[in-house]
Amino acid sequence: MIDKTDRMNGLFDFYSALLTDKQHSYMRLYYSEDWSLGEIAEHFAVSRQAVYDNIRRTENVLENYEEKLMLHEKFHQRSALLDELSTSLQHDKASEASLKVLAKIEAIE
The residues of the shown chain that bind its own copies, judged by CB under 8 A, are 14-15, 17-18, 65, 68-69, 71, 74, 77-78, 81-82, 84-85, 88-89, 91-92, 94-95, 97-98, 101-102, 104-105, 108
15: Cβ–Cβ under 8 A, 6 or more apart, which residues? 61, 62, 65, 66, 71
| H or E stretch at 9 | helix 2-15
Residue type present at position 13: D
To its own copies, the closest distance from the beta carbon of 15 in angstroms equals: 8
Q: Which is nearer to its own copies, 36 or 77 (CB)?
A: 77
Q: Which is nearer to its own copies, 6 or 84 (CB)?
A: 84
Q: Which is nearer to its own copies, 39 or 86 (CB)?
A: 86
Q: Which is nearer to its own copies, 2 or 107 (CB)?
A: 107
**Helices 2-15 and 71-92 sit at what angle, rounded to 10 degrees?**
90
To its own copies, the closest distance from the beta carbon of 7 in angstroms equals: 19
To its own copies, the closest distance from the beta carbon of 93 in angstroms equals: 8
Tally of residues, the chain: 109
In angstroms and rounded to an integer, the radius of gyration of the C-alpha atoms of the chain is 19
| 107 within 8 A of 79, measured Cβ to Cβ | no
